[in-house]
Structure 1
Amino acid sequence: MRPATRPHESSPDVHTDRPALLFDLDGTLLDSVYQHVIAWKEALESAGIPLSIWRIHRRIGMSGGLFLRALVRETGRDLSAAEADRLRVLHEEGYRRRISEVRPLPGAEALLELLSASGVPWAIATSSSEATAKTSLSLLEIPPGVPVITRDQVQYAKPNPDLFLAAAEALGRPIGESFVVGDSVWDLLAAQRAGALGIGVLSGGYGREELETAGAYRVYDDPQDLLEHIDELGIRTHS
């Protein structure tokens, strides 16, 4: 019979000093939320659906299907499946036209480099399509082998937990040993449903109280702030 682990000991299968970090992309690693907002506004207006920018912003980070249903519900207009698909295409085209405006958020590249150098596993899980994510990821230096999970690879995107569950599985880590890092309430709701601790960042436009109410264990200004306080997550790095 295997002896019981004493309270102060860790199982050899548990990596308490190197939990996995599962990152959202837009608003978390890239300063791209408002480019997405404007792209959605233009797409919606092309279909005769005028909607205030602030209402669109509140839904950024959700799956495209839920996003459109929620926004259209506020206008009282029905959309056919073909119309919804067309709006998604127009949004992606509009975002790609603005990719020259997008930059990595402060500290994003340094944070990812430190994690890689310290042997801390990390992945990216985004509600964007593979095509849109590929355009965005070109702005970051992603090492070979880092999993990138997009909405095309799962049944449901955020606020469902599928993206983060798939990212943890791709890393070979239990979701319970993982932190989800995101800028929206949809990221943090998905983290709760997945069974991971949620870390919020303010760089996507949501407020601290909103992120904490949605389940954030800690909230930081941006990736740079998280980098400077990485020890608060119990992560030992080789800095």
Structure 2
Amino acid sequence: MADTALLDVDGTLVDTNYQHSVAWFRAFRRFGLTLPVWRIHRAIGMGGDQLVPAVAGQEFEAEHGDDARSAWTEEFDPLLPEVQPFDGARDLLAELGRRGWTVVLASSGQQQHVEAFLDKLDARELCAAWTSSADAEATKPAPDLFQVALQRVSGRAGVVLGDSTWDVEAAAKAGMAGVAVRTGGYSTDELAGAGASGVHDSLRELLEHLDDTPFASPS
């Protein structure tokens, strides 16, 4: 009986995935590690606690993990002015609310970045709550953040919107339906293969076909 719309933010509502990739590339370079940007991009959607060992290995995580995450913040912050919402992002939030959904932004980003994106979206009044990486011990693809986001509004069940395989996998682990948009750079086959019940090229396209998705109306 789904009543809560849980929306990822980075790469889903705001166009950040390539800025994230570049910031991580520069952060790793501080420690003498040069990784192909495409390989970093393939891990975007994970939280930093998951991404560092996934792309740099457990030994690097043990030696430099926390410092690398701090370096990433220093590299990403100057890129914030470049970040823009995707077309249709605010319209989608408003439409979900109009249909009776409780809208929660289920982000694994840092609190200050989530706040900045809320301002860019002009969406504070459209959302019942939002999360950040501080709200769960393990970030995506672990299900913790979606579970915390649902509990925050005392929801019965949730439907997730994300842009990465990690979002879809986390939704499945949380027992929630997952819908995906390709704005994060993942293919239709990858997203569907991870378990997405539907894949759309853009938020605007999703809006146009909302009646054919699990977001049609709360159960």
Q: CA deviation at 1:63?
A: 2.0
Cα distance between partner residues in 1 of 2:165 and 2:88: 22
Write the letter of the residue equivalent to 2:154.
Answer: G
Larger Rg: 1
**Where does structure 1 differ by over 6 angstroms across 4 or more consecutive aligned residues?**
none
Matched, 1:96 2:80: no
Q: 1:108 to 1:98 in 2, by over 3 A?
A: same
Matched, 1:191 2:171: yes
Write the letter of the residue equivalent to 1:200.
Answer: A
Return the structure number with greater helix share: 2
TM-score (norm 2): 0.92
**Aligned positions of 1:36-185 closer than 5 A:** 36-73=20-57, 78-80=60-62, 83-144=64-125, 146-175=128-157, 178-185=158-165
Given that residues 118 and 124 in structure 2 are in contact (C-alpha distance below 8 angstroms), is that contact kept between their aligned partners in structure 1?
no
Flag structure 1 segments of 5+ consecutive residues without an equivalent: 1-13
Flag structure 2 segments of 5+ consecutive residues without an equivalent: none
Cα distance between partner residues in 1 of 2:68 and 2:24: 8
SS of the equivalent of 1:34 reads: helix
SS of the equivalent of 2:35 reads: coil
Write the letter of the residue equivalent to 2:188.
Answer: R
Cα distance between partner residues in 1 of 2:50 and 2:76: 19
Cα distance between partner residues in 2 of 1:79 and 1:120: 39
2:10 matched residue in structure 1: 26
Q: CA deviation at 1:236?
A: 4.5
Cα distance between partner residues in 2 of 1:205 and 1:25: 14
Cα distance between partner residues in 2 of 1:96 and 1:116: 31
Given that residues 104 and 149 in structure 2 are in contact (C-alpha distance below 8 angstroms), is that contact kept between their aligned partners in structure 1?
yes
SS of the equivalent of 2:120 reads: coil
TM-score (norm 1): 0.85
SS of the equivalent of 1:122 reads: strand
1:219 matched residue in structure 2: 199
SS of the equivalent of 2:160 reads: strand
SS of the equivalent of 1:98 reads: helix
Given that residues 92 and 132 in structure 1 are in contact (C-alpha distance below 8 angstroms), is that contact kept between their aligned partners in structure 2?
no
Identity %: 35
One of 203, 209, 216 as aligned partner of 2:183? 203
Cα distance between partner residues in 2 of 1:90 and 1:157: 19
Q: Tell me which moved more, 218-227 or 87-96.
A: 87-96
Cα distance between partner residues in 1 of 2:112 and 2:71: 13
Q: CA RMSD in A?
A: 1.8
Aligned residues: 216
